[in-house]
Structure 1
Amino acid sequence: MWWIYVLVGLGCLIAGAALGFFIARRYMMSYLKKNPPINEQMLRVLLMQMGQKPSQKKINQMMKAMNNQAK
């Protein structure tokens, strides 16, 4: 009879872990969509630090490439 309690406990543990994973994944996806890790200003500063003069065309190309890679 004790094995029923063990099976119910294991089932609840597995269900809780799966539910927690999917909730955390959805939260992180929405957070990263609202707050992208790199924006145009950060990219401009990065290029200037590397010794390149950033043109708007180059920044737009790099942003588009990063967005395509993220998808």
Structure 2
Amino acid sequence: MSTIWVVLIAIAALVAGVALGFFIARKYMMNYLKKNPPINEQMLRTLMMQMGQKPSQKKINQMMRAMNNQNQSGK
């Protein structure tokens, strides 16, 4: 009878640890990506120049706004 309790407690602790670890890692990554966005205006300008386009500030602002809107709707 006591081995069943030990096994049940071990399984419950494992499930709780996995769930807690998942949420902590998720929160950490959300904060990291908010502080260090994956792409910025300089990267976008370089990318457009590599594709052979002459990027105007208006076009860069438009693309950054579109990416930010997409990130906001994805949440």
**Shared fold (TM-score, shorter chain, > 0.5):** yes
Gaps of 5+ in 2: none
Matching residue of 1:51:
52
Runs of 4+ in 1 over 3 A off after TM superposition: none
State how far apart, in whole Å, the 2-side matches of 1:53 and 1:16 are. 51
TM-score when normalising by structure 1: 0.98
In the TM superposition, residue 31 of structure 1 has moved relative to its aligned partner by 0.1
- Provide the alpha-carbon RMSD of the alignment: 0.4
Whether 1:68 aligns to 2:72 is: no
In the TM superposition, residue 35 of structure 1 has moved relative to its aligned partner by 0.2
Paired letter, 1:56:
Q
Count of equivalent residues: 71
Gaps of 5+ in 1: none
TM-score when normalising by structure 2: 0.93
